[in-house]
Structure 1
Amino acid sequence: MINKICVFCGSSFGSNELYKHEVEKIGRLFGENGIELIYGGGNSGLMGALSKTTLESGGKVTGIIPKKIHEQVDHIDLTELHIVETMHERKNMMYNLADAFIALPGGIGTLEELAEIFTWQQIGYHQKPVAVWNINQFYNPFRDLLLHMVREGFMKKEFLENLIVDDNLEEIMMQLKTYNPSQHNKWEKPN
């Protein structure tokens, strides 16, 4: 069951109005379908729009934010807010609370969170679904880099096939519900 989804996204809005519009769409979907949002606790940019829309749509929102960032940003009332000491604690708590993960457009922090949770899946720390909502083909360069890693022998194709990438939110939600990861040993030598 997918009841809690951790979303990685930007603390800025980006240069295309479409990003905010689509983030509000997923917030409404979460709120109206009883899916709890787990996220980094910020109130600016796409993160803020996502949490605000989820709450306004009747949903639950759990934020996890490091004390250093918490002291520097404005806040909204969330269903639950955890203030932790470090970024590592933040990510660990988000990862443990969530049933699945979706990356939306964002900056280097979003990319880092996506890469880390996908790495954890690859090495066997979890088998939860990881998805990329490829709004406006934002993640095409990232997908190209992953394909390059496969071609160059730094990633097994089977692991890349576990990553859900789509530009359609309804399709992503369906794939999260029906997710069945391929089981492979990262360190197994090819025949």
Structure 2
Amino acid sequence: MRICVFCGSSPGLVPAHAEAAADLARLLVGKGIGIVYGGASVGIMGVLADAALEAGGEVIGVIPAHLNDWEVAHGGLTQLHVVDSMHERKARMADLADAFVALPGGAGTMDELFEIWTWSQLGLHNKPVGLLDVAGYYRRLVEFLDDMVEAGFLRPAGRSALIVASDPQVMLERLGAA
């Protein structure tokens, strides 16, 4: 079992975001679940990978060659896949994972989350997708998604397919139930 974690290449300004990444990593390792992520050594991605590796877990990174050339790839991973493009990165991460969780991050995290969630709605996979709302980071996004349902642009079933939780343990329980 592997969970793909989408998260920021920046550490952000709120310590709780990085702490949640480390907590999630240790929780996953403790349950024997491997991690697939973007392959970087920096930001919340680096915190996630380092915590999982320190706990003895499997960590698989997938990074585009141009980012690997910038030397941001993590050097101590279980496996590192270097791919040609961002699209190939997302497809490989999807192939390697059994579920997906987004932690706080920026535009790249949003891109990954929305693409994999859209693929689910289109029937391209049937893997659960979760949004870990650490310290209210995604509160306004979740409100907007609810507004999309009210406006008729998102079906209620599509909205409910995105699992939202603020606690990593609760998130894993909900992913398992899905």
Q: TM-score, normalised by structure 2?
A: 0.97
Could you tell me which amino acid in structure 2 is paired with residue 97 of structure 1? L
| Structure 1 residue 124 displacement after superposition | 0.7
- 2:133 matched to 1:137? no
| 1:164 pairs with 2:163 | yes
Indicate the percent of aligned positions where both proteins have the same amino acid: 42
Q: Secondary structure at the match of 2:123?
A: coil
CA offset at residue 151 of structure 1? 1.1
Match of 1:27 in 2: 25
State the alpha-carbon separation in 1 of the partners of residues 103 and 92 from structure 2: 19
CA displacement, residues 5-40 of structure 1 (integer Å, 9 cap, x when unaligned): 000000011111111111111111122221110001
Task: Give the one of 55, 59, 82 matched to 1:57.
Answer: 55
* Contact 2:27/2:169 (<8 A) preserved: no
Summarize deviations over 1:66-96 as a string: whole Å, max 9, x none.
0000000243211000101011110000011
- In 2, Cα distance between the equivalents of 1:26 and 1:176? 13
2:130 partner SS: strand
Which residue of 1 is the match for residue 3 of structure 2?
Answer: 5
Higher helix share: 2
Match of 1:68 in 2: 66
| Equivalent of residue 41 in structure 1, options 35, 39, 42 | 39
Give the Å deviation of 1:43: 0.6
Give yes or no for contact 1:32–1:58 (8 Å, CA) kept in 2: no
Q: Give the greater-gyration-radius structure (CA).
A: 1
- Tell me the secondary structure at the aligned position of residue 81 of structure 1: strand
After superposition, give the CA deviation of every residue in 1:136-175 in whole Å (9 maximum; x if it has no partner): 0111111111111111111101111111101111111111
Aligned to 2:146: 147
- Residues matched between the structures, number: 177
Matched residue SS, 1:132: strand
**Structure 1 residue runs of 4 or more that deviate by more than 2 Å after TM superposition:** 73-76
Cα contact 1:42–1:48 (8 A) shared by 2: yes
Give the alignment's TM-score, normalised by structure 1. Answer: 0.90
CA distance in 1, matches of 2:136, 2:71: 30
CA contact (8 A) 1:5 1:99 kept: yes
- The corresponding residue for 1:95 is 94
Tell me which amino acid in the other structure corresponds to 2:37: Y
Does the CA-based 8 Å contact 1:66-1:85 persist in structure 2? yes
Q: Tell me how far apart the structure 2 counterparts of residues 149 and 27 of structure 1 sit (CA, whole Å).
A: 32
Q: Distance in 1 between matches of 2:95 and 2:106?
A: 23
What code does the residue aligned with 1:61 have?
V
